[in-house]
Chain A
Amino acid sequence: MTTAILVSILMTLVAASTPILLAALGELVAEKAGVLNLGVEGMMLCGAVAGFAVAFSSGSTTLGLLAALLAGVAAAMVFAVLALSLNANQVATGLALTIFGIGASSLIGAGFVGRTIPRLGPIFPAGLSEHPWLRAIFGHDILVYLSLALIIGVGYFLRRTRSGLILRAVGENDASAHAIGYPVIAIRYAAVAFGGALAGLGGAYFSLALTPMWAERLTAGRGWIALALVVFSAWKPGRLLVGAYLFGAVMTLELQAKAAGVNWLAPEVLAMTPYLATIAVLTMMSIGRRTGRLDAPACLGKPFSAT
């Protein structure tokens, strides 16, 4: 009995953590290359609506995921053209991308309100994925395993490969990287595209896996929490994993408290917790490091032009 409850809590926790983990990991790579893309929430919404629309019309969640990925990349490219090629202010461009994502997703999604699609299911056979306790390991969908694999992959890429070193160099000292002969802008385009792809998938997690039903602004600020998580992680993938699952735990608590009918706390107060937790975490991070340096890439958010 208790195992069943623990397993079900764990499943909720994993499901709540995965979309922010995906989006935050993509943003981490973009920021490592020196680009601050505040449009995560917008890219997630683009992915969510594209994923839902394609999954609904084609009947295939796989095609839906692919569409979400491409929509995220497309949104990221709009950001890249403005912020990297035209040297527009990165903060303002990221905000514009979020406002765009909100508008575009509610416009496209207007035709899908209330429609449902089959949920993104577990990838292992029923014998494993529906086993009373083995499902804690084998009962997840493909994006959960992908997100965990990507944590290891990105960590390895950044720390152990030559390309990863170049990407970090571009983020730490763009002028030197340029002088050595690395294509700073091209590398940043690639990093931003990767961020867009993962944000798109993270957004699709809401519309395809969590609640396979379209609702406006269904990401509810998780893109912004992902941005905060990157700061929390001190730009290290391993810590990002810990942070995302901590946030997943906070959100699971919120859901469990609601389900258990906790009535000494208003539901609105419970709904505030992820946002308050984000502020608390950012604050504690800063108190923990009185040096004033948060290990941010040195060129984060600064425009670069070769001429």
Chain B
Amino acid sequence: MLEWRRRREPSTLMLWLSPLIAIALTMLLGMIVFTAMGYDGCHAVESIFLTPFLEPQRWADIGVKAAPLVMIALGLAIGFRANVWNIGAEGQYIMGAIAGTGVALLTYEMTGWWILPAMVLAGILGGMAWAAIPAFLRVKLQVSEILTSLMLTYVAVQFLYYLVRGPWKDPDGFNFPQTRMFTADQTLPIMLEGSLVHLGIPAALLLAVVAWLTMEKTIAGYAVKVVGLAPAAARHGGFSAGRTTWATLLLSGALAGLAGLFEAAGPFGQLTPQFPVGYGFTAIIVAFLGRLHPLGIVFGGIVLAGTYVGGEIAQSTVRLPQAATGLFQALLLFMLLATDVLVRWRIAFKWRAA
């Protein structure tokens, strides 16, 4: 007989092992589901979870996709720890890209080293401004940030459509709904000759280390944890929940905006209606896979970026539709939430006396 027993203390081993168990279970379940749907389930799972990591020529692509995921997830995780549920990172990501593109279009005929930093600043401020709306509504009026931040994502998408079809449409672009291509001074420097590896990748790694140090070594990081774990104690200790809500939402908005700008000034080089690919939502999974820990998030970002790259591989190897990637990512989040139970409970074997 199997029996669940509550642990006296949460298991530290399981805390870090459960994401790996979740990945293994997702692979197993994915194999079953896709075989049942009539695909080659084994090769689908191999293509999505193994091939991207085993073929070195894919690593650059994984890095390019992991960078925005890690950046966004770092901000979200800090918010989640404080019980602030910003699920509209996708909208802040888009607004960051829009703000940065605004600067790019203004400086279109100029040259200078200062243009890219100005775009980066605009991107950060754009994401922050979009996150400030749910922050204000939550702190001043107790409106749930979950619903407002998500609603604002839909608004941001429409705003992007409006700009690229209307005022920001490339005048020399044969009427395609897209902005001008950015100039050399407006695009991220490439770190590795002949690849897409751009400045965003080292930036994401650096930000992860900074976030880790902030969470572990500063009063601000401590305040976030206390507000999330014990709101009453936090009030008693003089940590304001309102200030924490503001800080975490602005921070996650800033990071999402930065990620959006990097994506626009990096792989895209312009804004198009295809710009939002859902990184803001996938980053939620990254944050959980990384156990809301900055260094764990780097790992989580690499795994999820791998599923994007692997999803493309699986499209050609086993004719798996693109939507399968999203399903794998959702299964992974389900499994993560399910295996979380192992941290607080253990399975005991009990032989029933006959």
Enumerate chain A interface residues (CB-CB to B < 8 A).
38, 78, 81-82, 86-89, 91-93, 95-96, 99-100, 102-104, 106-107, 110, 220-221, 224, 227-228, 231, 266, 268-269, 271-272, 275-276, 278-279, 282-283, 285-287, 292, 294, 307
Contacts and interface: CB of A to CB of B under 8 A. Distances in A.
A268 B166 CA distance: 10
Given A92-B288, A307-B6, A99 B151 contact: no
B337 A78 contact: no
Q: Top 9 A-B pairs ranked by shortest CB distance?
A: A103-B326, A103-B327, A100-B330, A268-B162, A106-B323, A88-B337, A286-B141, A107-B323, A96-B333
B146 A88 contact: no
A104 B327 contact: yes
Given A82-B334, A87-B341, 8 more contacts: A92-B337, A95-B87, A96-B337, A99-B329, A100-B334, A104-B330, A220-B154, A275-B154
Contacts of A227: 147
Nearest to A93: B337
A130 B333 CA distance: 49
B133 to A, nearest CB: 8
A268 B338 contact: no
Contact of A86 (B143, B285, B327, B340): B340
A253 B329 CA distance: 37
B150 interface: yes
A276 B6 CA distance: 46
A91 B146 CA distance: 9
A282 B147 contact: yes
Contact of A107 (B151, B154, B327, B334): B327
B281 interface: yes
Contacts of B87: 95
Interface string B304-341: 00000000000000000101111111110110011011
A99 B159 contact: no
A268 B158 contact: yes
Contacts of B183: none
A107 B324 contact: yes
Interface residues of B, number: 45
Nearest to A106: B323
B155 interface: yes
Contacts of B329: 99, 103
Contacts of B158: 268-269, 271-272
Contact of A96 (B161, B166, B334, B341): B334
Contacts of B326: 99, 102-103, 106-107
A99 B331 CA distance: 9
Contacts of B144: 231, 282
Given A95-B284, A286-B141, A272 B159 contact: yes
A269 B334 contact: no
A224 B147 contact: yes
B148 to A, nearest CB: 5
5 contacts: A91-B85, A100-B333, A103-B323, A266-B166, A279-B147
Nearest to A277: B151
B274 interface: no
A87 B329 CA distance: 21
B141 A283 contact: yes
B142 A292 contact: yes
A239 B298 CA distance: 46
A287 B285 contact: no
B151 A224 contact: yes
A96 B321 CA distance: 20
B137 interface: yes
A86 B331 CA distance: 16
A88 B336 CA distance: 10
Nearest to B331: A100
Contacts of A96: 330, 333-334, 337
Contacts of A272: 154-155, 158-159
B152 interface: yes
Between B154, B281, B285, the greatest number of chain A beta carbons within 10 A of the residue's beta carbon is seen for B154
A78 to B, nearest CB: 7
Contacts of A285: 143
B4 to A, nearest CB: 10
A275 B133 CA distance: 14
B333 A99 contact: yes
A269 B146 contact: no
A266 B288 CA distance: 39
Contacts of B324: 103, 107
B165 interface: yes
Contacts of B288: 92
A100 B337 contact: no
B337 A228 contact: no
B337 A86 contact: yes
Contact of A279 (B151, B321, B330, B344): B151
B272 to A, nearest CB: 15
B190 to A, nearest CB: 32
Nearest to A100: B330
Contacts of B85: 91
Between B147, B288, B328, the greatest number of chain A beta carbons within 10 A of the residue's beta carbon is seen for B147
A82 B334 CA distance: 8
Interface string B130-146: 00010001000111101
Contacts of B148: 279, 282
